[in-house]
Amino acid sequence: MKVINGGSMLNNLKIRSRLIAGFGAIVFFLVLIGALSLKNLKAQGDLMTEFHEHPFTVTNAIRSVDANVVRMHRSMKDVVLYARDAEDLEASLADIDASERIVYRDLALVRERFLGDKGKIDQIKESMDKWKQVRARTIELVRQGKIAESVAFHKNYARRIVAGIDSQVNEVLKFATGKAESFVQESQKNQRTIFAVTAILVLLAGALAVWTAFAITSSITAPLDQAVQAAERLSQGDVSVEIHSDAGDELGQLLRAMEKMVLSLRRMGETANQIALGDLDTEVVPASERDVFGLAMSNMVASLKRLAASADRIASGDLTIDVVPASPKDRLGNSFSQMTRNLRELSLEIRAVVNVLAGSAAEIMTTVSQLASSSAQTATSISETNATVQEIRQTTDLTSQKSRQVYESANRAVQVAKEGRESVSSAIDGMQGIDERMGFIAERIVNLSEQSQAIGEIIATVADLAEQSNLLAVNAAIEAAKAGEHGKGFAVVAQEVKNLATQSKQATSQVRNIIGQIQKATTAAVLATEQGSKAVEAGVKQSSEAGESIRVLASSIEESSNATLQIVTSTQEQAIGMDQIAIAIHSINQASDQNVEGSRQIEAAARNLYELNQKLQALVSGYKVA
Amino acid sequence: MAAGKIDWDDLIKRQEKTFAAAGGGAIAPEKEQAVLRERARLLAQRPEKYRDPAESIDALVFVLSGESYAVESAYVLETLPLGDFTPLFCTPPFVLGVTNLRGRIVSIVDLRRFFDLPAIGLSDLNRVVLVSNGSMEFGILADAIVGMRSLDKGSLKPPPETFTGIREEFVAGVSAERLALLDLGRIMTDPRIVVHEEVA
């Protein structure tokens, strides 16, 4: 597929070396730029020092010379003009001497530093020497007091010499200034150059850094992307991925290792495919001792080969082998073991069945011969049956007559049951009338009982009256006794009244007894009527039940009447059926003849079956079971 | 129904007979005659012997706890049925209470309690014998009043040994029929019958 080609030089380097090389180049450029800058700084500093030592010092010194010459000249004028004052003269002379020393010192400095023609400086010095003679002459004249001469002398010589010095100084100054300007120009030129060089170098370093970063990153990520894509496809089981790398770095090693892995997987896949197609001749060699996949494949092939060998033996009829499963979870092994066991049992069973079959075939043969003889018996039986059917036909006609009679009597019974139901309902009405009468009687008896109760109350009053009469009689006797002899007759009357009262009381108690008996009798009568009423109720109920029974009986009779009707029609149909049976028996007779023929054929078939069984026995004995 | 056929004619006849007997109202003549004859016979009897009034005592006989007692008729005012009475507080147990007799307030004494006899309780048949000696008047509770009886003084005997306690003191004598004649004069003058109690 996609060929990963890391052919460039960069890809052959180790990643560490690659990183070191890239960063080293950038650092080198930075150091170069720094050194260049330092060198330029140094050059600039040297230029400044030179500038300071030469044009600048010369210019300053020559100006100092010029100023001191002027000062000396002015002091000389003072000397000439104010020579009378000795003090002034001496001060001016000291001043002149000081300036003169400065001029000579400066001139020596200029001579040393001046870059132009040193002859010009010597000329200035000669002029100064000249002026010194002039000065000395003038001062001598002054000291001699010859002022006018000194003025003229000074006027003639000094002015000329000073003018000459002045022009010489100006020439030197002019040269020095020109020299300084040339210095500045050179410095500016140098700076421009350095700026340009530095800028170029910086740009170069930046470009180099960017290029290095891109190059290194792409050299690492590109192979990694390839590896990731390949691993992704491998994880989905696609072993057709092509990986190739010539690079010498770690990524190259990784890709080559992956390539090996893919090749190994592809080989394994092809081997597994062959095994799946049933080719067990493939030899699986594990890549190493720790190649779990390879070892498993090798074990699987060995196990399959063992099973195949067992299957070959079973196919050749040897059922004595015992397949030992590789593990308790070995489904195929277990199934194989189970299969051989089952086949053994099956073979044994078939052997037993064949034996049984042999016996059965013999039995069938005997049975068939019996069948042939019984067919003949059947034929005679059928003719007897034919005569019986004729008799049944006559009986059926008789049955038809009888059942018609039964039907008519059942109809009469239905009529009677209807009348019976009507009488029962009228009996129920009569009994209900009795029940009403009974209620009336009970009510009357209760009324009588209530009236005798009223009599009892009256009797109680009478008894009370008798009691009071008794007391009154006693009181009367008491009064009679009090009256003495005159009350004797009254005492008798009182006694008589007392006797009457006592009799009345006895009578009331008798009446009360009688009333009690009447009450008992009425209670008994009421109870009796109640029982009568209940008896009537029971009678009504029983009558209703009787009516219901009669109704059920009527319906039963009606049903049996219908049934009888059906019997009548059935017997007619039966008669027709009997005729048909006679025809059928004739057919049976013919069939019986055919049966005899058929049993002969069955006999031949049974013989064939016996021969077949012999062959089967020979086949089964081909299987070794033990 | 179980007893066979009912003889309705006989039943109706019996009923008519009974109705006639009841509707006649009057007692049968022969029965009436018999009653009248019996009465005449009783009235025609003479007393066994004539008694000297001085030798006999007229007494009222009454029953108390199954025993017959008699009081002299001279003390007796009248007999009356026991009506409503009002029990009195702070009285001895033998005072049953007071009752209103035609406007008079009369106290009632239960002699059974006074004599320590067994009480058989009150009933509608209880009677009161109203007695008086002129100064004092009270009612004696009796189970039943028997009637007037004339007692022969000579025939009275002293109370037997069975009469004990307080009863013995107030029995004047016992007749041949074991009728105890109470000495009412003595009872009425006895301080024990007089109720005098003060409640603080």
Please list every residue in chain A whose beta carbon sits closer than 8 Å to the beta carbon of residue B11. Answer: none
Residue A288, classed as helix, strand or coil, is coil
Q: Which alpha helices (DSSP H) does chain B contain, by range? A: 8-24, 29-44, 111-114, 166-170, 184-189
C-alpha A79: how far from its chain's center?
125
Please list every residue in chain A whose beta carbon sits closer than 8 Å to the beta carbon of residue B43. Answer: 492, 496
How would you list the strands of the sheet with B127-132, edge to edge?
Answer: B76-81, B127-132, B137-142, B104-109, B95-101
Quote the minimal CA–CA distance from B165 to chain A in Å.
Answer: 31
User: According to the model, what pLDDT value does residue A513 have?
Assistant: 92
What is d(CA B171, CA B154) in angstroms, rounded to the nearest whole number? 15
Disruptive mutation site among A478, A500, A510 for chain B (greatest number of B CBs within 10 Å): A478
DSSP-derived letter for residue A52 is I
> In degrees, to the nearest 5, what angle opens at C-alpha A72 toward C-alphas A66 and A77?
130
Identify whether the C-beta of residue A51 lies closer than 8 Å to the C-beta of residue A165: no
Nearest CA in chain A to B62: A474
- What value of ipTM does the predicted structure carry? 0.75
User: According to the model, what pLDDT value does residue B149 have?
Assistant: 84
Disruptive mutation site among A437, A455, A474 for chain B (greatest number of B CBs within 10 Å): A474
pLDDT tens digits along A88-128: 778 888 888 888 888 888 888 888 887 777 888 888 888 88
Identify whether the C-beta of residue A470 lies closer than 8 Å to the C-beta of residue A501: yes
If asked whether residues B22 and B63 sit together in one domain, one would say: no
If asked whether residues B146 and B96 sit together in one domain, one would say: yes
pLDDT tens digits along B62-74: 988 778 889 988 8
If asked whether residues B146 and B105 sit together in one domain, one would say: yes
| H helix or E strand, kind and range, residue A69 | helix A57-81
Identify whether the C-beta of residue A507 lies closer than 8 Å to the C-beta of residue A515: no
- Select the more confidently predicted residue: A34 or A365: A34
Contact B78 A470 (CB under 8 A): no
Confidence band of B120 (pLDDT split at 50, 70, 90): low
Residue A148: pLDDT above 70? Answer: yes
Residue B48: pLDDT above 80? Answer: no
Lowest mean pLDDT among A291-300, A364-373, A605-614: A364-373
Residue B89 lies in a domain: yes
Dihedral sign, Cα of residue B143, residue B149, residue B155, residue B156: positive
Quote the minimal CA–CA distance from A550 to chain B in Å.
Answer: 26
If asked whether residues B81 and B106 sit together in one domain, one would say: yes
What is d(CA A187, CA A193) in angstroms, rounded to the nearest whole number? 10
Cross-chain CB nearest to B145 (options A471, A492, A499): A471
Residue B157 lies in a domain: yes
pLDDT tens digits along A548-571: 898 888 888 888 888 888 888 888
Instruction: Supply the CATH classification number for the domain A345-621.
Output: 1.10.287.950
What is d(CA A476, CA A498) in angstroms, rounded to the nearest whole number? 10
Tell me how crowded residue A555 is: count the other CB atoms within 10 A of its CB: 12
If asked whether residues B104 and B160 sit together in one domain, one would say: yes
| H helix or E strand, kind and range, residue B109 | strand B104-109
Chains A, B: CB contacts within 8 A come to: 44
Quote the minimal CA–CA distance from A420 to chain B in Å.
Answer: 25
Instruction: Tell me how long chain B is.
Output: 200
Residue B50: pLDDT above 60? Answer: no
What is d(CA A198, CA A33) in angstroms, rounded to the nearest whole number? 6
Residues of A with CB under 8 A from a CB of B: 467-468, 470-471, 473-475, 477-478, 480-482, 484-485, 491-492, 494-496, 498-499, 532, 535
Residue B121 lies in a domain: yes
Among B122, B37, B40, CA closest to B81:
B122
Q: How many domains does chain B have?
A: 2
Confidence band of A510 (pLDDT split at 50, 70, 90): very high
pLDDT tens digits along A164-189: 888 888 888 888 888 888 888 888 88
Q: Are strands B127-132 and B137-142 parallel, antiparallel or unpaired?
A: antiparallel
Nearest CA in chain A to B77: A478
What is d(CA A543, CA A422) in angstroms, rounded to the nearest whole number? 11
Residue A84: pLDDT above 80? Answer: no
Tell me how crowded residue A333 is: count the other CB atoms within 10 A of its CB: 19
Residue B160, classed as helix, strand or coil, is coil
Contact A468 B81 (CB under 8 A): yes
If asked whether residues B111 and B146 sit together in one domain, one would say: yes
What is the CATH classification number for the domain harbouring B93?
A: 2.40.50.180
Lowest mean pLDDT among A248-252, A460-464, B1-5, B144-148: B1-5
- Select the more confidently predicted residue: B193 or B145: B145
Residue B45: pLDDT above 60? Answer: yes
If asked whether residues B165 and B102 sit together in one domain, one would say: yes
Identify whether the C-beta of residue A365 lies closer than 8 Å to the C-beta of residue A607: yes
C-alpha A124: how far from its chain's center?
113
Residues of B with CB under 8 A from a CB of A: 1, 39, 42-43, 53, 58, 60, 73-74, 76-81, 127, 145, 147-148
CA distances in angstroms from A268 to A187, A262, A292, listed in the order given: 81, 10, 12
Quote the minimal CA–CA distance from A471 to chain B in Å.
Answer: 7
Q: Return the structure tokens found at A534.
A: 């209940």
What is d(CA B31, CA B166) in angstroms, rounded to the nearest whole number? 52
pLDDT tens digits along A324-367: 887 888 888 888 888 888 888 888 888 888 888 888 888 887 88
Tell me how crowded residue A526 is: count the other CB atoms within 10 A of its CB: 17
DSSP-derived letter for residue A225 is H
If asked whether residues B30 and B87 sit together in one domain, one would say: no
If asked whether residues B38 and B59 sit together in one domain, one would say: no
Every domain of chain A and the residues it spans: 9-231, 345-621
- Select the more confidently predicted residue: B167 or A477: A477
Contact B147 A474 (CB under 8 A): yes
Cβ-in-10-Å burial (0-12, 13-18, 19+) of A279 comes to exposed
Please list every residue in chain B whose beta carbon sits closer than 8 Å to the beta carbon of residue A467. Answer: 81
Contact B147 A498 (CB under 8 A): yes
If asked whether residues B65 and B155 sit together in one domain, one would say: yes
Range of the domain at B40: 8-44
Percent of all residues in chain A with a pLDDT value above 70, rounded to a whole number: 98
Q: Give the mean pLDDT of A400-422.
A: 85
Dihedral sign, Cα of residue B29, residue B31, residue B34, residue B40: negative
Confidence band of B25 (pLDDT split at 50, 70, 90): low
User: According to the model, what pLDDT value does residue B130 have?
Assistant: 92
Residue B2: pLDDT above 50? Answer: no
Nearest CA in chain B to A493: B43
- Dihedral (Cα; A244, A247, A252, A253), 10-degree rounding: 110
Residue A2: pLDDT above 50? Answer: no
Confidence band of A160 (pLDDT split at 50, 70, 90): confident
What is d(CA A527, CA A534) in angstroms, rounded to the nearest whole number? 10
- Select the more confidently predicted residue: B198 or A576: A576
Among B200, B197, B183, B194, CA closest to B59:
B183
Q: Return the structure tokens found at A507.
A: 């009578």
If asked whether residues B179 and B106 sit together in one domain, one would say: yes
Q: Return the structure tokens found at A562.
A: 């219908």
Give the end-to-end CA distance of chain B in Å, rounded to a whole number. Answer: 81
Disruptive mutation site among A431, A475, A490, A511 for chain B (greatest number of B CBs within 10 Å): A475
User: According to the model, what pLDDT value does residue A106 have?
Assistant: 86
User: According to the model, what pLDDT value does residue A5 have?
Assistant: 42
Please list every residue in chain B whose beta carbon sits closer than 8 Å to the beta carbon of residue A499. Answer: 42
Nearest CA in chain B to A484: B53
If asked whether residues B70 and B37 sit together in one domain, one would say: no
